[in-house]
Amino acid sequence: MEEVIHAFLGLIAGTIGGGLFSFYQKKKNASIDDKIEAKRKLKKYSKSLWFDLHEINYRLKNIKTNLKSNNFKEVLPLTYHPDINMDMDIDWYTKDGYFITSTAYLFSSLSCWISIYQRDVTFLDFGESSNSADFYRKIERLKQSISNTEKGSIMWYHYFNSIGENIIENTQNSPITFARFINQLDSDIKFRLFYSQTFYFLNTLSKIESIDLIEHIMNQIEDCQDFLEQHIDIPRID
């Protein structure tokens, strides 16, 4: 009888142990799948985000260099602003106003990609629990640097969010093209008024007092670039 009891208890232990092992294995496989999906989504958007970061940082570096060398002629295009009353030809955006318009688009596109990232990627599991939280903090610090009023920014935090949300191409899950951005600025008075604060923000970057703000933004941009270069197959460009 005692042998039967031991055999019965062994059967129960084996069944429970097998069930626990099966549960653990399924959980482990699901965790691996989550990590793969997180990295897939990160890679899907990262190169576009990295490109905007790179382009903005490159322009800010040149602006800072010209301001520090008192070469104000080179930053003159940053003082331009589209006519609110729309009394201008569309080619203004591709000629005299090209530099400031394309920079306005880059900031808007960056905001757009950040909105998509924070919606689809930020809270996914990358394999180390600290990575997703670290990425979120870096993006938030970047947004806060762009909207840092103590350093003279007039790009308000939630307004920066909105200039990206406003140009999300929902069918493509990406920003609208630069060509469409120009056409909407030219043809839609409400669209132009909405982005007028972006142009005013860029106007302030033409002043020597903005160097501290520019350097602060650049530091946060480079921090985000470093994260992407460490986690995604993106070649570093020095």
Contact by Cβ (8 Å): 109, 193: no
Q: Is residue 77 in some structural domain?
A: yes
Q: Is residue 19 in some structural domain?
A: no
Q: Is residue 36 in some structural domain?
A: no
Q: Is residue 237 in some structural domain?
A: no
At 205 the pLDDT is 97
Contact by Cβ (8 Å): 38, 125: yes
Q: Is residue 4 in some structural domain?
A: no
pLDDT grade for 27, boundaries at 50, 70 and 90: very low
Tally Cβ neighbours within 10 Å of residue 236. Answer: 8
Q: Is residue 26 in some structural domain?
A: no
Q: What angle do CA 112, 229, 221 make, to 5 degrees?
A: 50
Average pLDDT, the chain: 84
pTM score: 0.81
Q: Is residue 25 in some structural domain?
A: no
Number of domains comprising the chain: 1
Query: Which of 72, 218, 213 minimizes the C-alpha distance to 154?
Result: 213
- Domain hosting 198: range is 43-231
Q: Is residue 12 in some structural domain?
A: no
Contact by Cβ (8 Å): 64, 205: no
pLDDT grade for 180, boundaries at 50, 70 and 90: very high
At 46 the pLDDT is 83
Residues 70-95: tens digit of each pLDDT: 999 999 999 999 877 667 889 999 99
Show the tokens assigned to 217: 């933004």
